[in-house]
Protein backbone atom coordinates (compact mmCIF):
# COMPACT_ATOMS: atom_id res chain seq x y z
CA UNK A 1 0.00 0.00 0.00
CA UNK A 2 1.25 3.43 -0.97
CA UNK A 3 2.85 5.53 1.83
CA UNK A 4 0.87 8.67 2.61
CA UNK A 5 2.61 12.03 2.70
CA UNK A 6 1.51 15.18 4.48
CA UNK A 7 0.95 17.95 3.81
CA UNK A 8 -0.16 17.55 0.18
CA UNK A 9 1.10 21.03 -0.62
CA UNK A 10 2.90 23.85 1.14
CA UNK A 11 3.88 27.41 0.21
CA UNK A 12 6.83 29.07 1.94
CA UNK A 13 8.71 32.33 1.82
CA UNK A 14 12.45 32.18 1.33
CA UNK A 15 14.19 31.46 4.62
CA UNK A 16 11.24 29.65 6.21
CA UNK A 17 11.34 26.04 7.37
CA UNK A 18 9.15 23.11 6.36
CA UNK A 19 8.48 19.55 7.48
CA UNK A 20 7.18 16.82 5.19
CA UNK A 21 5.95 13.55 6.64
CA UNK A 22 5.76 10.07 5.12
CA UNK A 23 3.67 7.39 6.85
CA UNK A 24 3.45 3.74 5.91
CA UNK A 25 1.02 1.00 6.91
CA UNK A 26 3.86 -1.53 6.52
CA UNK A 27 7.18 -1.85 8.30
CA UNK A 28 9.87 0.38 6.86
CA UNK A 29 13.44 -0.85 6.58
CA UNK A 30 14.77 2.13 4.72
CA UNK A 31 13.30 5.33 3.31
CA UNK A 32 14.60 7.47 0.51
CA UNK A 33 13.62 11.03 -0.24
CA UNK A 34 13.51 12.53 -3.73
CA UNK A 35 12.75 15.92 -5.23
CA UNK A 36 11.18 16.30 -8.65
CA UNK A 37 11.23 19.55 -10.60
CA UNK A 38 8.52 20.17 -13.18
CA UNK A 39 9.18 18.20 -16.37
CA UNK A 40 12.15 16.34 -14.93
CA UNK A 41 12.85 12.98 -13.35
CA UNK A 42 13.02 12.66 -9.56
CA UNK A 43 16.42 13.24 -8.01
CA UNK A 44 17.65 11.42 -4.92
CA UNK A 45 18.12 13.58 -1.81
CA UNK A 46 18.84 11.27 1.07
CA UNK A 47 18.44 7.86 2.62
CA UNK A 48 17.22 6.91 6.07
CA UNK A 49 18.20 3.50 7.31
CA UNK A 50 16.81 1.39 10.11
CA UNK A 51 18.76 2.37 13.19
CA UNK A 52 18.57 6.08 12.40
CA UNK A 53 21.52 6.55 10.08
CA UNK A 54 21.02 9.27 7.49
CA UNK A 55 22.99 10.56 4.57
CA UNK A 56 22.05 13.72 2.78
CA UNK A 57 22.30 17.45 2.31
CA UNK A 58 23.47 20.27 4.60
CA UNK A 59 20.21 22.16 5.04
CA UNK A 60 17.97 19.18 4.43
CA UNK A 61 17.78 16.53 7.10
CA UNK A 62 15.42 13.71 7.95
CA UNK A 63 14.34 11.41 10.71
CA UNK A 64 13.06 7.85 10.73
CA UNK A 65 10.72 6.50 13.39
CA UNK A 66 10.57 2.73 12.87
CA UNK A 67 7.99 2.22 15.59
CA UNK A 68 5.60 4.72 14.04
CA UNK A 69 6.53 3.58 10.52
CA UNK A 70 7.11 7.20 9.64
CA UNK A 71 9.82 9.38 8.19
CA UNK A 72 10.01 13.18 8.19
CA UNK A 73 11.99 15.47 5.93
CA UNK A 74 13.14 18.82 7.36
CA UNK A 75 13.99 21.71 5.08
CA UNK A 76 15.58 24.64 6.89
CA UNK A 77 16.08 28.19 5.63
CA UNK A 78 14.34 27.29 2.37
CA UNK A 79 15.66 28.62 -0.93
CA UNK A 80 13.87 29.20 -4.22
CA UNK A 81 15.64 26.11 -5.58
CA UNK A 82 13.80 23.94 -3.03
CA UNK A 83 10.57 24.30 -5.01
CA UNK A 84 9.31 21.05 -6.47
CA UNK A 85 7.47 17.90 -5.51
CA UNK A 86 8.94 15.73 -2.79
CA UNK A 87 8.44 11.99 -2.66
CA UNK A 88 9.41 9.38 -0.14
CA UNK A 89 10.28 6.00 -1.58
CA UNK A 90 10.73 2.61 -0.03
CA UNK A 91 11.12 -1.07 -0.76
CA UNK A 92 9.09 -1.72 2.37
CA UNK A 93 8.35 -5.00 4.03
CA UNK A 94 11.59 -6.61 2.92
CA UNK A 95 10.48 -6.86 -0.71
CA UNK A 96 12.10 -5.56 -3.86
CA UNK A 97 8.93 -3.77 -4.92
CA UNK A 98 9.94 -0.11 -4.67
CA UNK A 99 7.01 2.27 -4.27
CA UNK A 100 6.59 5.98 -3.71
CA UNK A 101 4.54 8.09 -1.36
CA UNK A 102 1.70 10.29 -2.50
CA UNK A 103 3.95 13.34 -2.91
CA UNK A 104 4.13 16.86 -1.42
CA UNK A 105 4.20 19.96 -3.63
CA UNK A 106 6.42 22.65 -2.17
CA UNK A 107 6.66 26.18 -3.53
CA UNK A 108 9.11 28.73 -2.20
CA UNK A 109 8.33 32.38 -2.91
CA UNK A 110 10.83 35.24 -2.93
CA UNK B 1 28.90 6.35 -17.89
CA UNK B 2 25.44 7.25 -19.28
CA UNK B 3 23.37 5.95 -16.34
CA UNK B 4 19.79 5.06 -17.35
CA UNK B 5 18.82 5.77 -20.94
CA UNK B 6 15.23 5.76 -22.19
CA UNK B 7 13.98 5.96 -25.75
CA UNK B 8 11.95 7.49 -27.26
CA UNK B 9 11.61 10.74 -25.30
CA UNK B 10 8.29 11.60 -26.96
CA UNK B 11 5.75 9.53 -28.84
CA UNK B 12 2.20 9.94 -30.08
CA UNK B 13 0.18 6.77 -30.62
CA UNK B 14 -3.24 6.12 -32.04
CA UNK B 15 -5.73 4.05 -30.06
CA UNK B 16 -5.08 0.36 -30.59
CA UNK B 17 -1.45 0.72 -31.68
CA UNK B 18 1.36 -1.00 -29.85
CA UNK B 19 4.87 0.12 -29.03
CA UNK B 20 7.91 -0.64 -26.90
CA UNK B 21 9.66 1.81 -24.60
CA UNK B 22 13.33 1.01 -24.35
CA UNK B 23 15.41 1.26 -21.17
CA UNK B 24 19.12 0.56 -20.79
CA UNK B 25 21.43 1.04 -17.82
CA UNK B 26 25.21 0.75 -17.74
CA UNK B 27 25.70 0.63 -13.95
CA UNK B 28 25.37 -3.16 -13.67
CA UNK B 29 22.33 -2.75 -11.42
CA UNK B 30 20.31 -5.83 -10.62
CA UNK B 31 17.02 -4.10 -9.95
CA UNK B 32 15.07 -2.25 -12.61
CA UNK B 33 11.66 -0.58 -12.51
CA UNK B 34 9.04 1.03 -14.72
CA UNK B 35 6.81 3.79 -13.37
CA UNK B 36 4.11 5.92 -14.88
CA UNK B 37 3.28 9.43 -13.77
CA UNK B 38 0.05 11.04 -14.85
CA UNK B 39 -0.09 14.86 -14.97
CA UNK B 40 0.09 16.36 -11.48
CA UNK B 41 0.15 12.93 -9.86
CA UNK B 42 2.62 10.62 -8.19
CA UNK B 43 4.69 7.69 -9.44
CA UNK B 44 2.94 4.35 -9.87
CA UNK B 45 4.95 1.13 -10.24
CA UNK B 46 4.06 -0.83 -13.38
CA UNK B 47 6.58 -3.71 -13.40
CA UNK B 48 9.91 -4.45 -11.84
CA UNK B 49 12.77 -6.92 -12.21
CA UNK B 50 15.35 -8.22 -9.76
CA UNK B 51 17.61 -9.71 -12.42
CA UNK B 52 17.79 -11.17 -15.90
CA UNK B 53 14.86 -13.49 -16.51
CA UNK B 54 12.93 -12.37 -13.40
CA UNK B 55 10.06 -9.89 -13.56
CA UNK B 56 7.04 -9.15 -11.40
CA UNK B 57 3.94 -6.97 -11.43
CA UNK B 58 3.74 -3.67 -9.65
CA UNK B 59 0.71 -1.58 -8.71
CA UNK B 60 -0.67 -0.90 -12.21
CA UNK B 61 0.46 -3.68 -14.63
CA UNK B 62 -2.66 -4.00 -16.80
CA UNK B 63 -2.06 -3.16 -20.46
CA UNK B 64 1.71 -3.59 -20.21
CA UNK B 65 4.31 -6.32 -20.56
CA UNK B 66 8.02 -6.49 -19.81
CA UNK B 67 10.98 -8.75 -20.37
CA UNK B 68 14.49 -8.83 -18.95
CA UNK B 69 16.84 -10.89 -21.08
CA UNK B 70 20.00 -9.06 -19.99
CA UNK B 71 21.11 -7.12 -16.91
CA UNK B 72 21.29 -3.92 -18.96
CA UNK B 73 17.92 -3.85 -20.76
CA UNK B 74 14.35 -3.69 -19.48
CA UNK B 75 11.89 -2.83 -22.27
CA UNK B 76 8.23 -2.00 -21.57
CA UNK B 77 5.66 -3.09 -24.13
CA UNK B 78 2.29 -1.36 -24.52
CA UNK B 79 -0.29 -3.50 -26.28
CA UNK B 80 -3.45 -1.97 -27.77
CA UNK B 81 -2.80 1.59 -26.57
CA UNK B 82 -5.67 3.39 -24.86
CA UNK B 83 -6.08 7.10 -23.94
CA UNK B 84 -5.75 6.10 -20.26
CA UNK B 85 -2.13 5.19 -20.99
CA UNK B 86 -1.26 8.80 -21.80
CA UNK B 87 1.42 9.50 -19.23
CA UNK B 88 5.11 10.04 -18.59
CA UNK B 89 6.97 6.78 -18.17
CA UNK B 90 10.12 6.56 -16.09
CA UNK B 91 12.58 3.71 -16.03
CA UNK B 92 14.81 3.40 -12.98
CA UNK B 93 17.47 1.09 -11.61
CA UNK B 94 19.23 0.51 -8.34
CA UNK B 95 22.05 -1.56 -6.97
CA UNK B 96 21.60 -4.55 -4.73
CA UNK B 97 23.12 -2.85 -1.64
CA UNK B 98 21.24 -4.91 0.92
CA UNK B 99 18.02 -3.64 -0.63
CA UNK B 100 18.77 -0.06 0.51
CA UNK B 101 20.14 1.51 -2.67
CA UNK B 102 18.43 4.57 -4.10
CA UNK B 103 16.87 4.73 -7.56
CA UNK B 104 18.59 6.22 -10.57
CA UNK B 105 16.11 7.48 -13.16
CA UNK B 106 16.05 7.88 -16.88
CA UNK B 107 14.83 11.21 -18.30
CA UNK B 108 11.37 9.87 -19.01
CA UNK B 109 9.29 9.02 -22.07
CA UNK B 110 6.24 11.18 -22.74
CA UNK B 111 3.49 9.17 -24.38
CA UNK B 112 0.24 10.54 -25.77
CA UNK B 113 -2.51 8.22 -27.01
CA UNK B 114 -5.09 9.85 -29.28
A50 close to A32: Cβ distance less than 8 angstroms: no
Q: Are B34 and B23 in contact (CB under 8 A)?
A: yes
Q: What is the side-by-side strand order in the sheet with B19-25?
A: B4-7, B19-25, B76-78, B64-66
Least confident of B11-25, B40-54, B87-101: B87-101
The reply to whether residue B48 touches residue A98, judged by beta carbons under 8 angstroms, is yes
Host domain of residue B53: 4-113
The DSSP 8-state label assigned to residue A40 in this structure reads S
Under the banding of pLDDT at 50, 70 and 90, the label for residue A73 is: very high
A44, A101, A102 ranked by CB distance to B103: nearest = A44
pLDDT at residue number A57 = 67
Q: Which residues of B touch A (CB under 8 A)?
A: 31, 33, 35, 41-43, 45, 48, 50, 56, 58-59, 90, 92, 94, 99-100, 102-108
The number of domains in chain B is 1
Residues B37, A62: Cα–Cα separation, whole Å:
25
Q: Is B108 in Cβ contact with A29 (below 8 Å)?
A: no
Complete domains list, chain A, with CATH: 4-109 (2.60.40.10)
- How high is the pLDDT of residue A1? 80
Find the CB nearest B105 among A2, A42, A97: A42
pLDDT higher than threshold 90 for residue A28: no
Q: What is the 3-state secondary structure (H, E, C) of A3-32?
A: CEEECCEEEEECCCCEEEEEECCCCCCEEE
Q: CATH number of the domain that B95 lies in?
A: 2.60.40.10
Per-residue pLDDT tens over the stretch A30-41: 889 999 999 999
Judge if the upstream peptide bond of residue B8 is cis by omega within 30 degrees of 0. yes
Amino acid sequence: QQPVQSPQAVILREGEDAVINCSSSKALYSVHWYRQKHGEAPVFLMILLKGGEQKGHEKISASFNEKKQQSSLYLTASQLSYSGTYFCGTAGGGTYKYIFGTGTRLKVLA
Amino acid sequence: NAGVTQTPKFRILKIGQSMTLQCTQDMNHNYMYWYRQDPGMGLKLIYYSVGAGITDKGEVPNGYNVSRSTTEDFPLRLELAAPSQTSVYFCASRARQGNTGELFFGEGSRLTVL
